Structure 1
């Protein structure tokens, strides 16, 4: 499937998702009334010990998952196609130069002789080193990026690293595009944030394996369920840090903006967001670090990347492979942290 077909499927899926949400709200209203009546009659009996019937949490959750899986199948399929296409696009950028069958990689033939997948890896290293120098203006950080990538190439884990980076970058795009607007909204509405705080706590404290169950039910095995589980676990970080940055804007700046007749939009883009930029960048840093910590969990549901050799080493009790792949994950984490740390301070 081409990337344009995937985008078209994503647009159709979005429209189907809107229609399904309206239908689901209508069905939920009809389900809620008898559910409340049952709860009111069940609770006194349960408290008095007149019944051994427990609250049907698991049964209700399973019924809800089945309802979503059956009713929202067009949306879930389109979302899965679009997400996979985006991940494959990022992976192709990291692994292959321009050529025939560039996106899929099957039967790949480069357009330019000599610019092969092996030499392309060193070009990616050079681009990351250039980015590090532009952000930091320090040779030490640039050398750290170069040495880290050369170590990864030497150990033969560049492809797995590229697969993990594509998953991390995809999760970062999704989390930041959702988390920053939500963080701005709740910063301006303290009551809404008070209601949302327990949900954010639940998202970060609930075992990540629990996320994988509905992800597998909805999307099957592959990169998409790993991405969904990663997003659920990571999303609270950009929301909390964006909310902290916006709500911590000095009152003097806000009063000065009001005195000059600034509109709400002008205050947001010219006062609050520039003031909150360090916290937002810290949220970006945390998003990438937390996403990288999920690579092993994502490998359990079929996601490619550095988690795969870790899981294989665990299954075969291969100490050498486990130490190698674990050390590579540490090196990638250090490189990404150093790459973004100064940006978070500015």
Structure 2
């Protein structure tokens, strides 16, 4: 029976050996392909730098008018536009404009990339139960994994900087876009689809002209949730060099600067409220428009 007493020790050694093998394999992979992977993400880095340059170097009145114009077009609500104006003026008054614009550019690029990736994946999930069964567990892992864990493989592959932070934000914010695209397309009334088939619509025509327009309010809810999750990742991404409102918050935590942390935290909340109200208002307008058309 002595072998039983050795079993835990043997198990610990095998587990340690497995962990070391995985770590060594990942280091070898990083050393062999890290430069190629970094080169592949160069276009994304240029896009992010261009967006950040536009937001930070454009005179603030033009940026403010642009934001207010987008808020008006999306919501057609003067209360939403006025709330955006007050929020932006307060951010400027408390000298957080540059950091806020860097954060907005990061959120814009990460949301756009999440839409580009998430929309096709959500469509494939809606079209195929087999794809859905494969993708659903992956999304479950992505949504339950602690946000700090995303930084480990990204930093090992790409180092510290804006692009690794952007990739971590995209991974964290992507699941709602995929799930709600899938849900919106699946909830389209079957009678409408049968009518489209009766008129001789092809699969592509049915998707583009029927399913996506009717699913658009749900898809916009996915965009809204993606933006909120991207904003929630801002402070975490600041740990690996992402500039913006997250870095002053980390500095405030490290040095116990109460006002610095509170003001920058409130700026993040203000940006979140702007994105949330504008996207929600646009989704409600789409819903009302579709109810009128199909009512």
- Under a length normalisation based on structure 2, what TM-score does the superposition of the two structures give? 0.89
Post-superposition Cα deviations, 1:282-311, rounded to whole Å, max 9, x if no partner, equal: 111111111011110011111100000000
Q: 1:164 aligns with which of 85, 90, 103?
A: 103
Contact 1:285 1:344 in 2 (8 A): no
Task: Report the counterpart of residue 289 of structure 2 in structure 1.
Answer: none
Contact 2:34 2:158 in 1 (8 A): no
Q: CA deviation at 1:50?
A: 9.3
- Measure the CA separation in 2 of the matches of 1:344 and 1:64: 46
Task: Report the counterpart of residue 325 of structure 1 in structure 2.
Answer: 264
Superposed, 1:36-47 pairs within 5 Å as: none
Superposed, 1:26-175 pairs within 5 Å as: 51-52=10-11, 53-55=13-15, 58-97=19-58, 120-175=59-114
- Measure the CA separation in 2 of the matches of 1:270 and 1:64: 48
Q: CA deviation at 1:137?
A: 1.5
Q: CA deviation at 1:84?
A: 2.0
- Measure the CA separation in 2 of the matches of 1:288 and 1:156: 24
Post-superposition Cα deviations, 1:14-59, rounded to whole Å, max 9, x if no partner, equal: xxxxxxxxxxxxxxxxxxxxxxxxxxxxxxx9xx879424445533
Q: CA deviation at 1:122?
A: 1.6
Instruction: Decide whether aligned partners of structure 1 residues 148 and 50 sit closer, same or farther in structure 2, where only a CA change above 3 A counts.
Output: closer
Range that drifts further, 65-74 or 325-334: 65-74
Q: What is the root-mean-square deviation in Å for CA atoms of aligned residues?
A: 1.7
Task: Report the counterpart of residue 170 of structure 2 in structure 1.
Answer: 231
- Measure the CA separation in 1 of the matches of 2:22 and 2:121: 26
1:305 is paired with a residue of what secondary structure?
coil
Q: 1:216 aligns with which of 130, 155, 168?
A: 155
Q: CA deviation at 1:75?
A: 2.8
1:300 is paired with a residue of what secondary structure?
helix
Q: CA deviation at 1:193?
A: 0.8
- Under a length normalisation based on structure 1, what TM-score does the superposition of the two structures give? 0.77
Task: Report the counterpart of residue 103 of structure 1 in structure 2.
Answer: none
Task: Report the counterpart of residue 190 of structure 1 in structure 2.
Answer: 129
Post-superposition Cα deviations, 1:72-114, rounded to whole Å, max 9, x if no partner, equal: 23432213432221111001111224xxxxxxxxxxxxxxxxx
Contact 1:141 1:339 in 2 (8 A): yes
- Measure the CA separation in 1 of the matches of 2:18 and 2:214: 44
Instruction: Decide whether aligned partners of structure 1 residues 211 and 60 sit closer, same or farther in structure 2, where only a CA change above 3 A counts.
Output: farther
- Measure the CA separation in 2 of the matches of 1:320 and 1:310: 10
Task: Report the counterpart of residue 253 of structure 2 in structure 1.
Answer: 314
- Measure the CA separation in 2 of the matches of 1:338 and 1:248: 24
1:146 is paired with a residue of what secondary structure?
helix
Matched, 1:206 2:145: yes
2:240 is paired with a residue of what secondary structure?
coil
Answer 1 or 2: higher relative contact order, Cα 8 Å, separation at least 6. 2
Task: Report the counterpart of residue 205 of structure 2 in structure 1.
Answer: 266
Instruction: Decide whether aligned partners of structure 1 residues 195 and 77 sit closer, same or farther in structure 2, where only a CA change above 3 A counts.
Output: closer
Hey, which of these two has a bigger chunk of helix by percent? 2
Contact 2:169 2:230 in 1 (8 A): yes
Unaligned runs of 5+ in 1: 1-44, 98-119
2:200 is paired with a residue of what secondary structure?
coil
Contact 1:171 1:227 in 2 (8 A): yes
